[in-house]
A and B are shown apart, each in its own frame.
Chain A
Amino acid sequence: MAKKEKIVISPVTRIEGHAKITIDLDENKNVEDARIHVTQYRGFEKICEGRPYTEMPALTARTCGICPVSHAISSTKACDNLLAVRPPKAGRNLRRIINLGQIIQSHALNFYHLSAPDFIYGFDAQPEDRNIFKMMQTHPQMAKEGIRLRAFGQKVIETLGGKRIHPTWIVPGGVSHEITEETKQTILAQIPEALEIAQKALKYYTDNLHKFQKEINSFANFPSLFMSLVNKKGNLEHYDGFLKFIDSEGKVLEEGIDPRFYKEYIGEAVEEDSYLKSPYYKPLGYPQGMYRVGPLARLNIANACGTPLADIEFEKFKNLNNGKPVLNSFYYHYARLIEIIYGIERIEQLLNEPETLDSQVRAHATINRNRGVGCSEAPRGTLFHDYEVSNTGIITGVNLIIATGNNNLAMNAGVKQVAQAFVDGNDIKDGALNRVEAVIRCFDPCLSCSTHALGTVSSKIEIRDSKKNIIQVLNRN
């Protein structure tokens, strides 16, 4: 009698953090189910209890070596909320600029270093050819441009924050010091080159899209809700603004939500087989309330980007589904590249605002509230820091909803969809398994962040039968 089997991909490669995928096969060796399991645990919410609130931006930034700026931004915003202050305009502008630097460098790394090998060589290329080393040999100019573009984002962070990783310049009430005209000019001088590279990358991606129709159709391509921040005009917003939910037809479910009240709209489910939380849209319940965040969601929700070149590309993006939300997660890459262009243009705009060089960059106060919520858009989506403190400012409770966690339900649904489209249990090909990983790469998850990594990455695929017994193990490295 035929048995059910299970395939396990562990760890998932070319992502940040540790995860594995299991694929259940039925008696006929067709894919029955597939899931992503996040196998690392960090416990930041508990670690932070008992610490003074002033330590939170530095502590929580340590959640991640990739997006420490995003954590510092949300954390300091939560602290602003505890102090009941609003940073001066210069402080807000400078926070916006460093946040965009973070988004640019992270997006650039995902596109050039993690995902581009799939676009260049195809998903069926041999694993030894499907990596950055091969890319350096065959596409050296593109590889160099990837380095330059990421360096631009990193330089913005370093120039403002003093160092590229874990800068301590972003503080409760604003930033620790103003910038000079010289600093402004240093960044402005790099903008033309960064913009040129970003536009070239987008052209490369759109010129090659026709090669990936099957992936476009099956890479987490399904109806879901979308959530992001928008500004008062309903445009793209990464630092402040209001939460907005839309459905897959573009119908507005909620808008104008003050992020401090996120708990009224977002529930958090925990599943037995993963350390990653599964947030959901509360009114629809779990798991029906699945929503997506990140670049695709942001562009689906926004009315416009608000900068000239990005808006030209935004119009083309909107036309992909005749103005309705784009449901294919393969287009996360598309949205990511448009956001890079937006980020560069927006940094230029912000630097050229006269108030940005103002010397008043920080508001000072003591604890005025016992609960504070900070929310911003990280590269991967909406990030929430929610702190409770004593009257003396000691942290008594922390809740973090990390961008990647918001996408957990959608990533799982995407993994299942791709596995069903490409994996044949009778003839398991590496290209099929690479696609299962690649759908996760579309979301650019940061699992180190979202489980709030330790250990050595090994790469293996386990095949399990209907009784969940492992019957075969394949190495992925």
Chain B
Amino acid sequence: MRVIIGFGNTLRGEDAFGVDVINQLQKYFKEKASENTKLISVFQLTPELCLELLEAKEIIFIDALYSLDLKYTLACDIKQDIKGTNLSHHISPKIIISMLKDLYNCSFTYEIFSMTTCNFEEFKENDKNKEYKNCVKKVSSFIKDNPSFS
């Protein structure tokens, strides 16, 4: 099963990127229902999310990435560096991946799609700029056009 997780705070401007991509994909999968794809949109990643990923063979994380220099650059990061020891009530994709592998012996591939932005201010639906919308469209099209990246 392929699980696609978009996460972010929809009240904080373009932090909504992951959630907006999922919304876009939902429209597509509504028409072409696929049992092999699960879409999840969440405010933040939490430990118990692992329990929804146990059957996943491929996990895609979609998030906005803070950057002052690179605006609306899309990146796909597959390298993971799990070093941090600090932990709060919400966690990163790294910890989710580590939990699935170490605790549940899950075997899967994963990708992290990010859009760089520095706009985490509130905006109204109509104000979403073209570049942002274009990024949402590009990533959702890229994912639906490629049923698997592995």
Chain A interface (Cβ within 8 Å of chain B)?
Answer: 13-16, 62, 65-66, 106, 109, 113-114, 127-128, 130-133, 136-137, 140, 143-144, 146-148, 150-151, 154, 164-166, 457, 459, 477
Contacts of A14 in B (CB 8 A): 86-88
* Given contact pairs A14-B86, A66-B89, A133-B95, a sample of 11 additional A-B residue pairs in the complex whose CB atoms are under 8 Å apart: A13-B86, A113-B47, A130-B85, A133-B102, A144-B103, A144-B104, A150-B47, A154-B48, A165-B44, A166-B43, A477-B86
| Interface contact A131-B87, CB-CB below 8 Å | yes
Complex CA gap A147/B48 in Å reads: 5
Most buried by B among A130, A136, A477: A136
Closest CB in chain B relative to A64 CB, distance in Å = 9
Complex CA gap A14/B85 in Å reads: 9
Complex CA gap A143/B47 in Å reads: 10
Could you show 9 A-B contacts with beta carbons less than 8 Å apart?
A16-B88, A65-B89, A113-B87, A114-B88, A131-B85, A132-B95, A144-B103, A164-B42, A165-B43
Judge whether B109 is part of the interface by a CB distance below 8 angstroms.
no
Closest CB in chain A relative to B52 CB, distance in Å = 9
Complex CA gap A146/B103 in Å reads: 12
Chain B interface (Cβ within 8 Å of chain A)?
Answer: 11, 42-44, 46-48, 50-51, 82, 84-90, 95, 98-99, 102-104
Contacts of B87 in A (CB 8 A): 13-14, 113-114, 131-132
Contacts of B46 in A (CB 8 A): 150, 154, 164
| Interface contact A147-B102, CB-CB below 8 Å | no
Given A62-B11, A65-B44, are A151 and B51 neighbors across the interface (CB < 8 Å)? yes
| Interface contact A459-B43, CB-CB below 8 Å | no
Contacts of B43 in A (CB 8 A): 65, 164-166
Complex CA gap A164/B95 in Å reads: 19
Which 9 pairs across A and B sit closest by C-beta, in order of nearness?
A151-B48, A131-B85, A165-B43, A136-B102, A66-B89, A13-B86, A147-B47, A16-B89, A140-B103
A457 to chain B: closest residue by CB: B86
Contacts of B90 in A (CB 8 A): 65-66
Complex CA gap A477/B87 in Å reads: 11
